[in-house]
Structure 1
Amino acid sequence: MAYVYYFRPDIYQELYNCTAYNVSDIPLENRQHIPIGLMFLFLGLIMEVRNLLYFPCMIAIRKHMDSTCFKFMFYISIADIFKMCLIVNAIITGWLAIVGAVYCVYPRFIYFAGSAGLALWGCETVAEMILAVNRCIELTSQTWAEFLFHGKRSLIWMIIPTLYGLWFFVFEMPIHFSGIFVSWFFNPHVGYLDDFGKIYYSNMHTIHNYVVIVMLTSTYFTFATILTLKTMKHKTVTSAQTNRAQKMTFVQVILISSINAIAAAIYVYMQFARISEFLILTGQFTWMLAHGMPPVIYLALNKTVRRDVYRMFIGILPCVKATTLHSSAAVVSIGGGIHRTGNRIAPSSTALH
């Protein structure tokens, strides 16, 4: 909510001043969570290093940027590389938990970190929903896919999540870290002055989370269903391998969608009611996993991804090979990697906060 900070200092002072209580009212030992903080910090650093691996992949596929799916892949990957969302919900969260910070310890830093994390979360998840719809449309109707996404139309679609993220940053209330609960809340004074969504809330964030849950889950299950029906209709001698690939696809969909749904549901609910510390930590942990876990899921369950990553590291291929974009096989994409059935590949999408 940069607008309020810069242009409405009266409202900012009314909502975010720290004169009503002393931070020391809650002892430091009750605000510090060093083991949990170290865990978030360590996992966040690992996930951020993994995100840097997008650079060689983006360079390698730049000649395929005439494809809609690669344009969206590039857009989401840039958000993955630089996203404050993972930095906020893992690295900064870990550091603040270690030092036992609450909003009034680092008010401006926490205010703008929460604003940036929420804005990039909104931007990225909207882009992922558009990509998910694009994948379904391309699988069902090339005519509609060409009409909606061909050429410069795809760039217009990319403007939508960009403006959406900017709206979150400028106008929507940010989230604020609390070392008491090791999580982020709209109420900057949580633990000192409880509010439960009466003053500190964002209707847009609540609606957004519900839409993300419904859209990503339903779209990817629809995608997997369409793929299954198409495969059953056109059985070949390789149907056994294809069936196994379909099963693994469903497993990946279920895992990623479940993580996203749990994180979104807990984060919405805990802004309006008091819940156990275990559930709060579960929400924080699943929010982090939603942005960092998909590559792990693909490496564990997707033979193509494992092979391509292996080739990348031994130098045979610098990243996932993208030379057979226009063959006839079907595409499966979910989460932060690439899944291939047959010879055609496509980018994938993660979700949410």
Structure 2
Amino acid sequence: MLKHQFIRRSCYRIMFYLGIVDFSCVCLNSIAAGYFSIKGTLYCTDPMLTYVIGCFSVCVIALWATSCATCLLLAINRCLTAIYPKLSDRVFGGYNTLILLLLPTFYFLYFLLFTPPVIFSSMHYAMFFNPFIGISGFEMHVEEPKYASPLHTINNVADVVLLSCTYAIFCAIMAKAPSSMTTSPKQQTFVQAALICSFNAFASVIYVIMQFVPTPTVVIVMGQISWQGSHGAPVFIYLFLNKSIRKAVLKLLGIRKNVTCRIGVRTVTSAPLTTVHFVR
């Protein structure tokens, strides 16, 4: 994405920023969570490791909030680009995108300083603010208010509402658009952005519910996977749905070779991208 043909576009600048956030968060919400799930780790069984990871977990919540804010910014960018391209150039053109990305950065710092940590529970395979979740003798409705994070709840609810409204407005406008507009590259990029944001929305809903209401473990696991998917799925979405990025990655890895075939008395050699050479 740092190549000129990508980074000159505002949406790829936002996606690149989102990729940094995803890469940072996936180490804790996927790798550490997977290790704890396999080992069945609780605070009582390994207090030192649980405490250390718990200290870093404040950063995980901050990164999650940053991801939500960046996804919203990406959704606004895609909608403006498809519906009002001139306004989009004004808002996101030049260095404006970098200035706008300061907003999720400040959002990260705010959550980093003012939210409590979360503790992974191998009993439910997810992270909770309440360290006594699932332990007998501790009633959820009594203990939860002591550990709940209002900021996290507000962020998740706002994330779902704002993303839903943004994409609903776009879909309503595109439904009235000519069929030729619905297949443009802008709309293809919109589909990629919508898929990325849908993981965030689904994880937001479940993670709010399971913090306050007794939730079946299967639903909690779905929420945890959605959270992990919100940080891990974008790379696969780009590779499968974005032809330009896929070609660039294959070329970078040296997989996309020249393809040579013989037609009649001439040999046609196709270059890695679009150039075609005719050799007699």
TM norm structure 2: 0.74
Q: Distance in 2 between matches of 1:250 and 1:127?
A: 15
Q: Is the 8 A contact 2:192 2:241 kept in 1?
A: yes
1:133 to 49, 59, 76: 76
Q: Distance in 1 between matches of 2:176 and 2:199?
A: 26
- Which one has a larger percent strand, Structure 1 or Structure 2? 2
Matches within 5 A, 1:288-299: 288-299=228-239
Aligned residues: 250
Gaps of at least 5 residues in structure 1 are 1-56, 318-353
> In structure 2, do the counterparts of structure 1 residues 231 and 314 end up closer, same or farther at CA, with 3 Å as the change threshold?
farther
Rg larger in structure: 2
Q: CA deviation at 1:111?
A: 2.0
Q: Is the 8 A contact 1:220 1:253 kept in 2?
A: no
1:183 and 2:183 equivalent? Answer: no
Q: Distance in 1 between matches of 2:7 and 2:92?
A: 13
Q: Distance in 1 between matches of 2:58 and 2:204?
A: 17
Q: What does residue 140 of structure 2 align with? A: 195
Gaps of at least 5 residues in structure 2 are 258-280
Q: What does residue 277 of structure 1 align with? A: 217
Q: Distance in 1 between matches of 2:7 and 2:248?
A: 20
Q: What does residue 58 of structure 2 align with? A: 115
1:287 and 2:230 equivalent? Answer: no
Matches within 5 A, 1:248-327: 256=196, 258-300=198-240, 306-314=246-254
Q: Identity of aligned pairs, percent?
A: 35
Q: Which amino acid in structure 2 is aligned with residue 178 of structure 1?
A: S
Q: Distance in 2 between matches of 1:194 and 1:86?
A: 31
Matches within 5 A, 1:333-344: none
Q: Distance in 1 between matches of 2:253 and 2:59?
A: 33
SS in 2 for 1:187: coil
Q: Is the 8 A contact 1:186 1:271 kept in 2?
A: yes
| 1:187-212 CA distance string (max 9 Å, x none) | 12223334343211111111111222
Q: CA deviation at 1:307?
A: 4.5
> In structure 2, do the counterparts of structure 1 residues 261 and 148 end up closer, same or farther at CA, with 3 Å as the change threshold?
closer
Stretch deviating more after TM superposition (300-309 or 195-204): 300-309
| 1:236-256 CA distance string (max 9 Å, x none) | xxx8x939x96x889767755
2:156 to 188, 192, 209: 209
> In structure 2, do the counterparts of structure 1 residues 114 and 70 end up closer, same or farther at CA, with 3 Å as the change threshold?
same
Q: Is the 8 A contact 2:78 2:189 kept in 1?
A: no
Q: CA deviation at 1:68?
A: 3.0
Q: Distance in 1 between matches of 2:52 and 2:132?
A: 15
Q: Distance in 2 between matches of 1:251 and 1:71?
A: 17
Q: CA deviation at 1:156?
A: 2.5
Q: Which amino acid in structure 2 is aligned with residue 290 of structure 1?
A: S
Q: CA deviation at 1:158?
A: 1.4
Q: Which amino acid in structure 2 is aligned with residue 137 of structure 1?
A: L
Q: CA deviation at 1:87?
A: 1.4
Q: Is the 8 A contact 1:176 1:184 kept in 2?
A: yes
Q: Distance in 2 between matches of 1:297 and 1:132?
A: 16
Q: CA deviation at 1:161?
A: 0.7
1:78 and 2:20 equivalent? Answer: yes
> In structure 2, do the counterparts of structure 1 residues 223 and 304 end up closer, same or farther at CA, with 3 Å as the change threshold?
farther
SS in 1 for 2:69: helix
Q: Distance in 2 between matches of 1:164 and 1:250?
A: 24
Q: Which amino acid in structure 1 is aligned with residue 157 of structure 2?
A: Y
Q: Distance in 2 between matches of 1:249 and 1:146?
A: 16
